[in-house]
Amino acid sequence: MKKELVELLINDRTYEIAIHPSKLLLDVLRDELQLTGSKRGCDDSSCGSCTVLVEGVPTLACTALAASFSSDSDAGIAPLAITTIEGVTEHGALAAIQKAYGEWGGAQCGFCTPGFIMTVKALMRDNPDPSDAEMRQALGGNLCRCTGYSQMYSAIKAAVAAERQGLMTAQPLPGEAGHAQAQPAQPRHEQAAATQARENPKP
């Protein structure tokens, strides 16, 4: 049950913390770092409320060990860039998708909203003009119990339009730049010469 030092790169900021290797990323975000925007809605990886971006790829924070994303100086591995909902606002203002979710009723109780925003950020990057069917498919990993999803589609369309008009210029999220469309990001692990298996004692 020994804690290990991990180095995580979250919202462009590096955190060095000592955690049990069995600790889930969601628990680290919420309990250790007070980044409580990512929510726990289920216990069986089905609801998507905890979605964060890892190197730009939507990932369930409740279904991943935090240590998996840490740097490893012995192996020369840099930490993977994690973006949570707290890293989405731009220069102190709402990003286009956040503003549109408010204006179009995409958020009611708001509990699932951070997860949806992360999923939609990735969708808008990979597919700048999604059709209705593509939006439906893309949101399929996040459950909402309030909205019936309809108003989210309006919000996404509005955000797409707003970004296109340049009314609100979105900055790329950390770790996003340079990734080809529809091509899941290649983890930085691959750049490292050494292959590495992590051995994580469980309490």
Partner 1 sequence: MSDFSIIGKPIALVDAAGKTTGAGKYTDDLTMPGMLIGKILHSPHPHARIRRLDVSRARALAGVKAVITGEDAPNRYGILPVGHDETALAVDKVRYIGDNVACVAATSESIALAALELIDVEYEILPAYFDPEDSMKATTDLIHDHKPNNLEKDYHHVFGDPEAGFAEADAVAEARFLAAEVTHAAMEPHSTLAAFDIDSQTSGPGRLTVWSSTQVPYYLQHKLSIVLDMAMSQIRVIKPLVGGGFGGKSEVIPLEIIAAVAARKANAPVKITYTREEVFWAHRGRPRTIIDLKTGVKKDGRITAVAARVIQDGGAYCSYGIVTILYSGALLGALYDIPSIRYDGYRVLTNKPACGAMRGHGTVNVRFAFESQLDELARTIGMDAVEIRRVNLLKVPCITINGLRVQSYGLPECIEKVAAASQWAERQGKMGRGRGLGVGCSHYVSGAANSIIRSDMPHSTVNIKIDRDGGVVIYTGASEIGQGSDTMVAQIAAEVLGCSLQRVKIVAADTDLTPIDIGSYSSRVTFMNGNATLRAAQDIKKHIVAAAAGKMNCAPDEVIMRGDKVFKKMLPEGADGKNSAAQEKTSQDAPAPAAGDPTVSGHVEGQILRGSVQQKRKDEGPKDHMSFEEAVVAAIDFSGALSGTGSYAPPPEARGGKQKGGGVGPSPAYSYAAQVADVSVDEDTGEVTVNKIWAAHDCGRALNPTAVEGQVIGSVWMGVGQALYEEMVWKDGLLMNPGLLEYRSPSSVESPEVCCMIVESVDPEGPFGAKECSEGSLAAVIPAIANAIYDAVGIRLRETPFTPERVLSALRAQKSGSKKLEMTGGLDPTAPDRFREHGGSLCFEGKGPARNSADAARPRGASSPEAAGAD
Partner 2 sequence: MEAVSALDRHSGNIKITAGGTDVIPSLKQNLFSPEYVLDLRGIADLRGIAIVPGEGTVIGALTSLSDLEHSAHIRQNYQVLHAAAQTVASPILRNMGTIGGNICLDTRCLWYNQSLTWRKSCGFCIKKDGDLCHVAPGSERCWAAFSGDTPPALLCLEAEVEIAGAGGTRRVALKDFYQNDGIAFLRLQKDELLTRVILPESTSGLAGAYHKLRMRGSIDYPLAGVAVTLKQRNSGAPHGEIEEAHMAITAVNPSPRLVAGLDRILAGKIVNDELARAVGDLAAGAAKPLTTSALTPEYRREMVRVYARRTLLAAGALLN
Residues found near partner 1 in the complex (CB under 8 A): 30, 34-47, 49, 84-86, 88-89, 94, 97-99, 101-105, 107-114, 117, 135-137, 139-140, 142-152, 203
Taking only Cα atoms into account, the Rg of the chain, rounded to an integer number of angstroms, comes to: 17
Query: Whose CA is closest to 115, among 134, 96, 97?
Result: 97
- Rounded distance, CA 174 to CA 159, Å? 20
Selection from partner 1, partner 2, none that 49 binds (CB < 5 to 8 A by kind) is partner 1
Neighbouring CB atoms inside 10 A of 107's CB total: 21
CB of 7: closest distance to partner 1 in angstroms?
23
Among 65, 88, 135, 158, binds partner 2 (CB under 8 A): 65
Q: Are 30 and 94 in contact (CB under 8 A)?
A: no
**Three-state secondary-structure class, residue 16:** strand
CB of 14: closest distance to partner 2 in angstroms?
19
Contact between 150 and partner 2 per CB under 8 A: no
Selection from partner 1, partner 2, none that 108 binds (CB < 5 to 8 A by kind) is partner 1
Contact between 51 and partner 2 per CB under 8 A: yes
Nearer to partner 1, 72 or 111 (CB): 111
For residue 117, give Cα distances in angstroms to 79, 177, 187. Answer: 23, 18, 22
Helix (H) or strand (E) holding 120: helix 113-126
CB of 54: closest distance to partner 2 in angstroms?
9
The interface mask with partner 2, positions 101-140, x = CB under 8 A, is ------------------x----------------xxx-x
Contact region with partner 2 (CB under 8 A), list: 9-17, 57-65, 82-90, 94-102:
57-65
DSSP assignment of 138-168: HGGG---SSS-SHHHHHHHHHHHHHHHTTSS
**Three-state secondary-structure class, residue 93:** strand
Helix (H) or strand (E) holding 27: helix 25-27
Binding residue count for partner 2, defined by CB under 8 A: 45
Selection from partner 2, partner 1, none that 103 binds (CB < 5 to 8 A by kind) is partner 1
